Amino acid sequence: MYGDPTIGGGDPGQAMEPYLSDEKLRGPWVAEFEGEVVGFTGLLVKGEGAEIEPLVVGARHRSQGIGSILLAHAVQEARRAGVRFLSVRPVARNAAAIAFFVDAGFDLLGHIDLFQDISASSSRQWQSGILIHGKRLRY
């Protein structure tokens, strides 16, 4: 995922159980193509706010409108739930996801998570190039 095999661990599906049992979850909703699940999304509603989490489309089925259909459904469900603020949190290095969400109208910046890599043995190569408030950030 994102060119980094350390994300998600050996069994990324294992993290789904707590997600599916979260009382704030609406959905999940799946997209099927020829009998195969090719994408899914969910909505975590928290008062007047909600987060679309996750929005996933299998690599072979991307750029075919499936993500847009799933996103539109989640937005519609958020409106039905009376949500005022709807958020998404793509990983900073996932430029395609960021472009997708900005193009879909998610153009308000709500918060920023800053962290530093303090491991002595980190082999991760960070990208540079994001400028916020005059400060250069890596991702």
Determine the structural domain holding residue 124 and report its residue range.
Answer: 18-138
Residue 11 lies in a domain: no
Q: Residue 44 contacts by C-beta under 8 Å, 6 or more apart in sequence?
A: 22, 24, 25, 26, 50, 51, 53
Which residue(s) pair with 131 in the sheet? 136
pLDDT digits (tens, 9 = 90+) for 5-46: 555 566 666 767 777 787 888 889 999 999 999 999 999 999
Q: Torsion over CA of 43, 44, 45 and 51, rounded to 10 degrees?
A: -80
- Answer whether 41's CB lies under 8 Å from 29's CB: yes
Q: What is the CATH number of the domain that holds 55?
A: 3.40.630.30
For residue range 107-138, what is the model confidence (pLDDT) as tens digits?
999 989 999 888 877 777 888 888 999 999 99
Let me know if residue 64 belongs to a domain. yes
| Pair of tokens at residue 26 | 């609406």
